[in-house]
Amino acid sequence: MGIFQRIFKKALQTKTACTNCGATILVATFQEHGGLCAPCAWGTESARWRRESSLSLPIDKPDIDKMKDNKDTGSLIELLVGQKTNIEPETKYKAAEALGAIGDKRAVDSLIIALNDHSYFRDDDGWYYYVRLKAAEALARIGDSRAADPIISILQEVSLERCYYDVDNYSARTLWTLSDALGKLHNSKAVEPLLNILKKGKGHMIGHTGIDISAFESVIDALGNIGDPRAIEPLNNIINNRDYYVFAYSHHSAEVYGKISEALLKIMKNRP
């Protein structure tokens, strides 16, 4: 078990329940969101789905692994965005994951639609899994340029100030996932939105109880993977302390500077 998982399990020793959907959440999350879990605070449909889904309805338990092995794109799309109303979030999540593994570009439009699906599920260990984030990962895996604009649109909704260090932080996980997806898509349209997120970090503490350092670094990684020279000056400004960033500990700044150096090397290699 890694240190991240150990921290999470220890944190769960002080837990409470969301007043909207009843999910078990950290006390810090409860206080942060006024008694709600992060997904409910973001206005997701998951809680409504839980209330309105009748237990008398038969719940589909399709063999997704078999569909993936058979490359049954059509059936997986139907599970993800079809007309049935009794498809569990876990099933949709796994369908999106399978579509990404298959890599069939016929699934791109459906996965883009699934970016607006806010449903989620929670496993026995307390981890949350979000359908829209798995759809973003699947789109990045397929690598179709049509995915860039809708993912950028969601990225621009993310508030860096909400990406505080908390293992149950939906904002930080959204930023990690979307930045990683845009980096894999190598689409230059994402450069300015990613740089804007870095600019919003000025004056805020990075690491410890401040902005999640992994979320911050995910933006830097994405800029390096895209390889656009427009990122060179802003990244250099962070290293040279021309911009005001506050790091909780010296090892946090060293870690970020290392990520920036890697990103700059990638960008320089891509220059003609």
Residues 13 and 260: their CA atoms lie apart, in Å, by 36
What is the predicted pLDDT for the residue at 227? 95
- Cα-Cα-Cα-Cα dihedral sign, residues 156, 159, 164, 166: negative
What is the predicted pLDDT for the residue at 230? 96
What is the predicted pLDDT for the residue at 14? 57
What is the predicted pLDDT for the residue at 83? 84
User: pLDDT tens digits for 119-159?
Assistant: 999 988 888 999 999 999 999 999 999 999 999 999 998 88
User: pLDDT tens digits for 182-194?
Assistant: 999 999 999 999 9
Angle between helix 148-155 and helix 131-142 axes, rounded to 10 deg? 140
On whether the CB atoms of residues 23 and 41 are closer than 8 A, the answer is: no
On whether the CB atoms of residues 86 and 53 are closer than 8 A, the answer is: yes
Positions in the chain short of pLDDT 50: 3-13, 44-58
pTM of the model: 0.76
Extended strands (E) in 69-191: 120-122, 128-130
On whether the CB atoms of residues 19 and 47 are closer than 8 A, the answer is: no
Query: Which run of H or E residues covers position 16?
Result: strand 15-17
